[in-house]
């Protein structure tokens, strides 16, 4: 297995499994999101996870440019998209948390759209890891 295959399988699996958890355990997921992951005050672990994520994205770009793996750009760009959420959680935490509270408690239609898109991206990533590489 090459790096991009492993990354695709892991990333796709995480996207799919988290969407299933949100769908089948909504109350437990909401409690986790609002009372553990995204508390009223920005948790310190957010910065650690963001740093690890940034290193992973940087390493993935490095691997893209230094290895000859077909379609590595697709996985690299997909992983790079995670920096959008990361930047919001780091630099606009209160706004992000207000959005999370609204989506998780009041506007479930937005959550449904996010989940569908994330699930489809997860299926695509998993399929790439299993069949493309």
pLDDT digits (tens, 9 = 90+) for 38-60: 999 999 999 999 999 999 999 99
pLDDT digits (tens, 9 = 90+) for 59-101: 999 999 999 999 999 999 999 999 999 999 999 999 999 999 9
| Cα gap 68→89, rounded to integer Å | 34
Cβ burial of 125 (10 Å; 0-12, 13-18, 19+) is buried
User: What's the Cα-to-Cα distance from 102 to each of 40, 42, 95, 121, rounded to whole Å?
Assistant: 14, 17, 11, 23
Q: Does residue 133 carry a pLDDT above 90?
A: no
Confirm whether pTM is higher than 0.95: no
Percent of the chain whose predicted confidence (pLDDT) is above 70: 100
10 Å Cβ neighbour count for 120?
Answer: 13
Task: Quote the number of domains for the chain.
Answer: 1
User: Which distant-in-sequence residues (6+ apart) come within 8 Å of 93 by Cβ?
Assistant: 42, 46
Q: Residue 51 belongs to what domain range? A: 3-132
57: closest CA among 87, 77, 27, 43?
77
């Amino acid at each position: 297995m090459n790096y991009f295959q492993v990354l695709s399988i892991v990333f796709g699996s995480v996207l799919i499994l988290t969407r299933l958890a949100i769908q089948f355990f909504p109350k437990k997921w909401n409690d986790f999101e609002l009372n553990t992951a995204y508390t009223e005050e920005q948790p310190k672990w957010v910065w650690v996870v963001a740093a690890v994520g940034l290193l992973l994205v940087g390493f993935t770009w490095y691997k893209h440019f230094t290895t000859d793996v077909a379609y590595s750009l697709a996985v690299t760009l997909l992983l790079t998209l995670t920096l959008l959420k990361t930047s919001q959680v780091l630099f606009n935490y209160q706004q992000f948390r207000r959005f999370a509270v609204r989506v998780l408690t009041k506007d479930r239609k937005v959550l449904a759209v996010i989940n569908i898109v994330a699930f489809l991206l997860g299926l695509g990533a998993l399929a790439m890891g299993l069949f493309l590489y």
